[in-house]
Structure 1
Amino acid sequence: MRHRLEVRGGSLRPTDASRAAAILETRFPRDVGEMFVLVLSGPAPFGAGRPRQVLDDLLATLAREPYVADVAEVAAPGRTAVALVTLKVSDPDSVLALVPVARAAARRALGALPPPDRDAYEALVTGDTPLERDMLTVTTEDVERSEWRLVPLTGAILLVALGSPVAAALPLVVGFLAIVAALALVGTVASALPVSIYAVNVTTMIGLAVGIDYSLLIATRFSEELERDGSASEAAVRTLGTAGRTVAVSGLTVAPARWRSRSRFCPRRSRCWGGESARGAAPPDGAHRRCGTAGRDLSRDIRGTRSSAAAW
């Protein structure tokens, strides 16, 4: 799904920039191809001498790479030189995989320099596609770190608050199901509309939070009804009529406000879509069905513990 998401952004409505881009594509139909930007910094100006030789050697090394069509120096006004590396690729999707390859080639070229020069120069491969790859990497790492750190902590807090492993696992399960369903919705939308890569962060954050929030309300009410009557099936029915209705009304109340976030005045609309997908993917009846299905096990765990209301 991640290859469908956008880092550079997009617009659903015509803008001055999009109209200018359309004019350029119409009047200048020739595609210059995919390009990387090479930025080389050194201890002295690149106009002559040893810095100039280092720059020429680096450009020649990149020009010999099989995926490079042309290397053109753009500017070398001082201690920073800029060059454009034009790629020869048949599939635009393969450009993303060439970013680490080009960066490794630049590092090898500088690594071949004598020790005094090796640490004095720094080469950076950047541009639209390298920036996109870096943002994808950072976003993925952020999501993984947040999941590995926060989920165990959340589970421990739920276990202390609810006093039951089954009751503590229920909100986490619903939260993860909400995230999976929301990411599927975001992927579907991304196949037709521009969606920001940051929608993944928003979806994970809101999906887990809303899933836990809805499930806690259902589980708390279920445990109270179970202590009052003792019948798991009757407690599940009454839970649906009270807490389930509350969750449904809450979702229906939030929906119009979230729709406002998708209006034309929202500059980060796709992130709003991510949050709305996460909220809509945590249905109240999902938690109720799990309460009814696992009612017998849940009732045995809760009977010997204090009520959720008392725990809170």
Structure 2
Amino acid sequence: MGTWLARRRVLVLLLTLAALVVAVPFGSDVESRLSEGGITAPGSEAARADELLNTRFEGGSPHLVFIAKAASSVDAADAAKEGQALTDRLAKEPGVVQAASYWSLGNSEALKAKDGKSALIMVRLAGDEDQVRKHAKRVMPTVIGEQGPFKLTATGATAVRMEIEKQSEEDLVKAEMLSAPLVLIILLLVFGSVVAASTPLAVGVLAVIGSFVVLRLLDMVVQVSVFSVNITTALGLGLAIDYSLFIVTRFREELAAGREVHPAIAETMRTAGRTVLFSALTVALSLSAMLVFPMYHLRSFAYSGIAVVALAALGSVIVLPALLAVLGRRVDAWNVLWWRRKSKNSGARSDREGFWHRLAMAVMRRPLPFALTVTAVLIALGIPFLRVEFADSDDRVLPASSAAHQGAQVLREQFDSQEGSPIAVVLPDLDPQTDSKDVAAYATALSKLPDVTRVDAATGSYNAGREVAPPSEISQRFAAKGTGSGTWLSVTSDTEPYSQRGMSLVSTVRAVPSPSESLVGGQAALLVDSKDTLGDKLPWALGIIAASTLLLLFLFTGSLLIPLKAIVLNLLSLTATFGAMVWVFQEGHLRWLVGDFTVTGAIDIDTPVLMFCVAFGLSMDYEVFLLSRIKEEYHRTGDNVSAVAWGLERTGRLVTAAAVLVATVLLAFATSGLTPLKLLGVGLALAVIVDATLVRGILVPAFMRLAGRANWWAPRPLARLHKRIGLDD
């Protein structure tokens, strides 16, 4: 393959250029076309409740909450008149299915601020998540700002999600601008040559652009989350640089060893190219584990991750060899490191015992103390994860300067209940007219629950087990529209929907006997059901990762022990990451270092799953790089200790450079104003650094020294199977 590509180098590069010319305009607007939601578990009770609320009742939790602040009192004559007029106008806006306010709901005290100067207007929009977002983008600018005696600001679930999306796009551009020059500088330090340093960066750009095209095509078939673009950029750039670094380094070694350009490319592809493809397969399979989760938010990360891994690998083994064939020995041109200019064989493989060889030998002289010490440190760093609490992203993941965040803070501080995020209980088989007694009795029972401040139903409003307001014109919103049947109830509480109390209240509401089948929905219920779904599917995801790792590493090495070792060590390398996730981002330590953020006391529920799959894949990436050289040396010498030491020496500098490059790309996300993106960047960067240093530098040589020749053992049936279908050269 290397020879074929070298001979047809011009054709390959021209085809790549032509594809790039088409891809850039096609994929450039991908973010504007992708979906913003996808965090709901489809088919869950809460999802079915929300579907009925949308289709049968055109009601439910408000998408937008407008805070109308008056100069004096919201009960002043001019304020009351304008407030009612504004509510009526919003109710008639296209895409608005319901608008209710302090004034339209009979001056309900729950909708008035403690100081009496602010009141709420709540708006429910039509359609699915994408349609709701489009309606909100049109409605919000017509309301925000000065409106008669009021100054209006917007918050609510949809306003928050829209600001998160906008912030995400801005932070992605900022991260790219920050990481690109840093990556180029590091590549220059690694290679010394401007030309050699530019080649991995070029492949990274190709991978990212190509993945945007894949996401655009996928969006024509399935829903794809807009937030997958962030992981696409980071992974694409990082992995493409990793793979290209590995190939360019091997190519320079072969040239320095005396080979001509075309034979050097052929040997590079036979060794490093094969390793890159195998490594990409292991990373892609780790990411594919996210496909078992039904939420398309997580599935989108799998789509984009697999696409960018495949493109990074293909760019490295197809485009890069053709480019190297054109460059030839000029790959070392424009040397900017003066101390390397005297050496004509700067890429030559040295047989001198360097730092990594000496480190490996020192570890293997006392493997048990080293292994126990590092393992104890990693486990200790992971202990905070035992205190993890899960929630969903709300306004507090936004910067403090965000309008939606500031509005939500006003709701917390000035209003006694969570009017913008009630629990919705749907009774699809009850008629609010003929079954009014059953509805009233059920609403009365729900109003007695702890933390419940009010229950609104077709039969009136209830508090503490008694009716506090009779049915009114606005109560008609609890009846089905058109020819449908059924009713629903709004349960308002004084708890944050994503808090432990909020989730406990969902369970309590579901435990109250209902007069007919009931479905409990709303933000808190969606979180409870998503948490349960993730818990149910997680063993399957872990099983996919474990099985694919065991199989692929067995095919790669022929060993039964090395794949098991890889899983155990990779899990150990993640303990520090997951501990830091809780200690830093849940509990709020080191904000001076990672950048300020709002401490919510919980971690976004999707983040650990995403981080585990991505970090495990990256760890396997470095595992394969190291094992390829260890295996090569072992087959040459048959000496396990020597093979480990020289394998680490050959890859130590390379893996460290790759880890620094990937960590640089990921750490750029620490500049994000969004807490989940900041967490993802810092957490994954930490995982990469720990894996490339403590695990690859100490635990791997210690373990392989303790195992000795058993590293390469397999039962006879498996050994025969490996000879037939294994991936030996």
TM over 0.5: same fold?
yes
User: Which residues in structure 2 correspond to 1:58-97 (within 5 Å)?
Assistant: 60=85, 68=93, 72-74=100-102, 76-78=111-113, 79=116, 80-85=118-123, 92=131, 94-95=134-135, 97=137
**1:281 partner amino acid:** L
* CA distances 1:124-170 after superposition (whole Å, capped 9, x unpaired): 22345433431221111011000000001101111121111121111
Q: 1:271 to 1:296 in 2, by over 3 A?
A: closer
Given the alignment of the two structures, is residue 37 of structure 1 paired with residue 37 of structure 2, yes or no?
A: no
* Largest Rg, 1 or 2: 2
Q: 1:188 to 1:88 in 2, by over 3 A?
A: closer
Q: How far apart in 1 are the matches of 2:87 and 2:212?
A: 39
Match of 1:124 in 2: 153
Contact 2:36-2:225 within 8 A present in 1 as well: yes
Match of 2:291 in 1: 262
Q: Residue 98 of structure 1: CA displacement?
A: 1.8
Give the match's secondary structure for 2:36: coil
Q: Quick one: which of 249, 260, 280 aligns to 1:220?
A: 249
Q: How far apart in 1 are the matches of 2:139 and 2:173?
A: 22
Given the alignment of the two structures, is residue 180 of structure 1 paired with residue 220 of structure 2, yes or no?
A: no
Q: How far apart in 1 are the matches of 2:347 and 2:159?
A: 54
Question: Bigger CA drift: 215-224 or 162-171?
Answer: 162-171
Q: Residue 225 of structure 1: CA displacement?
A: 0.8
Question: Bigger CA drift: 220-229 or 8-17?
Answer: 8-17
Q: How far apart in 2 are the matches of 1:9 and 1:64?
A: 31
Given the alignment of the two structures, is residue 108 of structure 1 paired with residue 137 of structure 2, yes or no?
A: no
**1:77 partner amino acid:** K
Given the alignment of the two structures, is residue 280 of structure 1 paired with residue 280 of structure 2, yes or no?
A: no
Q: Quick one: which of 230, 239, 250 aligns to 1:201?
A: 230
Give the match's secondary structure for 1:68: coil
Q: How far apart in 2 are the matches of 1:62 and 1:264?
A: 40
Q: How far apart in 2 are the matches of 1:156 and 1:308?
A: 22
Q: How far apart in 2 are the matches of 1:262 and 1:222?
A: 36
Q: 1:107 to 1:98 in 2, by over 3 A?
A: same
Match of 1:142 in 2: 171
Match of 1:116 in 2: none
* CA distances 1:202-251 after superposition (whole Å, capped 9, x unpaired): 11111111111011001101111111125222211111111001111112
Q: How far apart in 2 are the matches of 1:160 and 1:214?
A: 17
Given the alignment of the two structures, is residue 169 of structure 1 paired with residue 207 of structure 2, yes or no?
A: no
Give the match's secondary structure for 1:40: strand
Q: 1:308 to 1:23 in 2, by over 3 A?
A: farther
Q: How far apart in 2 are the matches of 1:131 and 1:191?
A: 26
Contact 2:87-2:100 within 8 A present in 1 as well: no
Q: 1:240 to 1:44 in 2, by over 3 A?
A: same
Q: How far apart in 1 are the matches of 2:348 and 2:147?
A: 64
Q: How far apart in 2 are the matches of 1:77 and 1:21?
A: 27
Contact 1:72-1:84 within 8 A present in 2 as well: yes
Provide TM-score, normalisation by structure 1: 0.77
Give the match's secondary structure for 2:119: strand
Contact 1:62-1:106 within 8 A present in 2 as well: no
**2:164 partner amino acid:** M
Name stretches of at least 5 consecutive residues in structure 2 with no aligned partner.
1-29, 103-107, 336-340, 351-652, 655-729
C-alpha RMSD of matched pairs (Å): 3.7
**1:162 partner amino acid:** F
Question: Bigger CA drift: 141-150 or 124-133?
Answer: 124-133
Given the alignment of the two structures, is residue 299 of structure 1 paired with residue 329 of structure 2, yes or no?
A: yes
Q: Residue 57 of structure 1: CA displacement?
A: 3.7
Q: How far apart in 1 are the matches of 2:243 and 2:139?
A: 43
Give the match's secondary structure for 2:213: helix
Question: Bigger CA drift: 199-208 or 266-275?
Answer: 266-275
Q: Residue 287 of structure 1: CA displacement?
A: 4.4
Q: How far apart in 1 are the matches of 2:181 and 2:349?
A: 23
Contact 1:107-1:123 within 8 A present in 2 as well: yes
Q: Residue 173 of structure 1: CA displacement?
A: 1.1
Q: 1:98 to 1:191 in 2, by over 3 A?
A: same
Contact 2:290-2:302 within 8 A present in 1 as well: yes
Q: Residue 11 of structure 1: CA displacement?
A: 5.4
Name stretches of at least 5 consecutive residues in structure 1 with no aligned partner.
114-120
Q: How far apart in 1 are the matches of 2:41 and 2:348?
A: 47
Q: How far apart in 2 are the matches of 1:127 and 1:292?
A: 53
**1:84 partner amino acid:** M
Q: 1:123 to 1:15 in 2, by over 3 A?
A: same
Contact 1:162-1:308 within 8 A present in 2 as well: no
